[in-house]
Amino acid sequence: MNKHLLILTNSLLISVFCFCCQICVAQSSYEKAMQMRNQMLNQSGKLTFTIKGKNYTIKTSLVKTKYNEYVIAGGLIGEDNTLTLIVPKIEAGNYTMSGNKQQAILVFNQTPFIINNGSITIKPNGSKIEGSFKGKYYPPNGKGKFSTEAEGEISGTFSDLSLL
């Protein structure tokens, strides 16, 4: 009987230990996410874009991904309008948006679009990054993909970005 009690006690201790480790990892990831969110909110970067004849401005930040690409992220998830531009590097130059690789995603009035057939221009300005973009935006086709017909054109500028 004591042997079974000992095995049960050890199993319970191991389960509690594993559960506590999972909570610590989850809390650590949550804390890192909240820290990054707060850094993004405190950034001075801005992105202004024109779509359907109207101008919109959103807070913007610059983040390097684990794939060594750079993301210019305007707005936060859950907002009506967000815009994400992906560039391979943050050196001065003109980067083409074309083909199957999604390099720009727009959420406009809570509807997602991809931006393609355009370009992103990067201009370093001291320790900050600025630039512009233009392209065509494509709506969802209702089948889990995006239409091959552009709904319209979008253009804009971004400024005062520094790497998070």
Separation between Cα atoms, residue 159 and residue 65, nearest integer Å: 20
Percentage with pLDDT > 90 across the chain: 38
Q: Are 115 and 132 in contact (CB under 8 A)?
A: no
pLDDT of residue 149: 94
The single residue listed with the structure tokens 């801005």 is: 46
Instruction: Enter the tokens of residue 136.
Output: 């065509």
The structural domains of the chain, with segments of one domain joined by +, span: 1-42, 44-161
**C-alpha pair distances (Å), 30 with each of 26, 34, 101, 125:** 6, 6, 30, 33
Please give the structure tokens belonging to residue 164.
């998070």
- Model pTM above 0.85: no
Strand-pair partners of 155? 50, 134
Rounded CA-CA distance 40/25 in Å is 22
- Element (DSSP H or E) covering residue 77: none
Question: Residue 1: what pLDDT?
Answer: 41
Is 164 in contact with 70 (CB distance < 8 Å)?
no
* Closest C-alpha among 51, 47, 159 to residue 115: 51
Q: Tell me: the pLDDT tens digits for 101-113?
A: 667 889 898 899 9
Q: Which amino acid is at 94?
A: N
